[in-house]
Structure 1
Amino acid sequence: MRLGRLGLALVLLIGLVVGGPSIAAQTVEFGSTRVELVAANGHRTPLMVELAATPEQLEQGLMFRPYLAPEAGMLFDFGRPRLVAMWMKNTLIPLDMLFLDAAGRIVHIEANAEPGSLQPRGPVQKVLAVLELPAGGAARFGLRLGDRVAHPIFEQDPVKSQ
């Protein structure tokens, strides 16, 4: 009988460890939105990405995801420009992070961020948003500092640009 209880406890513990993160990840839902990556030469690449705008969505982000399609990503909208530091806690896949000012210009690229790392990443200037792509996405799309991400959140609003 004692071994039976120990076995049951072990199964429950394994279920929490293995199943816990995926269950937690499903508690926050994200809508999708269209962005366009706009290179300096004018080439535009449309993508459908998930949008994180609520505090719960911003906190969850892409944590616990085992896979992200090459043409996918997540746009984090912070509502107003602010100093932002992103980390990779509970993130299972490497990512490229594009830090975007109020006009949608790329002001910092964090390429191939290491999964699980607690190292804060980001520029020393205020940003309105961050676009996360699968690692290598920034290079694959030919993105550089000064290129833009087009999306309605970057339409000039006097309150947001301060």
Structure 2
Amino acid sequence: MNHRLIFTLVSMLSFNSVAQQWNVPEPQEFDKTHVCLGAIEQPLTVELADSQAQQARGLMQRESLGTYEGMWFRYGNERPGYSGFWMYQTLIPLDIAYLDKNRRIVKTFTMRPCKSDDPGNCRSYSPGENYWSVLEVNAGFFAENGVRMGDRLRKAESGSCVPESGKNNK
């Protein structure tokens, strides 16, 4: 048998037993799209977390995220403001933006990894406002790029972002 195949099989079995012990959802495949945020001219490449399994997994176990990369959690209905996100088994600090039906930011947080093996010890970041979707990017991204409350997430057109006219333009 090929040594690489044996290593891959052993690695998969090891990950599965660790994932079951930690109650970590299985790895998922994510479609990607390009979006624009507020007055940022560089498009963000975001993975789409649309299914319940994708949303449960999110960015758990990721060791890095590119500068203009993130994950967009899209829900089919409005979520209550007490329903938040946590950082259980998430290794990298993240900025999170809760978005209303028009994809305008209603609340942001910078979230730090939870180092506890007990998910009950991990802080929940709840927006206190109802929301329809959530954007996660590297911690510090919002501050570095002047992202503010009311900024809107929109699909990139032809792979580029032209800042929206009006409020929040640089």
Give 1:140 deviation, angstroms.
Answer: 1.6
**Structure with the greater alpha carbon radius of gyration:** 1
Give the number of the structure with larger relative contact order, counting CA–CA contacts within 8 Å between residues 6 or more apart: 2
The root-mean-square deviation of aligned C-alpha atoms, in Å, is 2.4
SS of 2:85's equivalent? coil
1:119 is matched with which residue? 123
| Aligned counterparts of 1:85 and 1:68: Cα–Cα separation in 2 | 21
- Cα deviation digits, residues 28-78 of structure 1 (max 9, x gap): 111101111123xxx544111100010000000000001111111000001
User: 2:123 aligned with 1:140, yes or no?
Assistant: no
| Aligned counterparts of 2:18 and 2:47: Cα–Cα separation in 1 | 22
1:34 is matched with which residue? 34
1:68 is matched with which residue? 65
Give 1:26 deviation, angstroms.
Answer: 6.6
| Identity within the alignment, % | 37
User: 2:45 aligned with 1:59, yes or no?
Assistant: no
User: 2:132 aligned with 1:128, yes or no?
Assistant: yes
Alignment of 1:98-109 (within 5 A): 98-109=97-108
Alignment coverage as a number of residue pairs: 133
Alignment of 1:18-29 (within 5 A): 20=18, 27-29=27-29
Residues 1:55 and 1:26: Cα distance change in structure 2 (over 3 Å): closer
| Aligned counterparts of 1:27 and 1:109: Cα–Cα separation in 2 | 26
TM-score, scaled relative to structure 1: 0.73
SS of 2:124's equivalent? coil
Q: Which runs of 5+ in 2 are unaligned?
A: 1-9, 116-121, 157-170
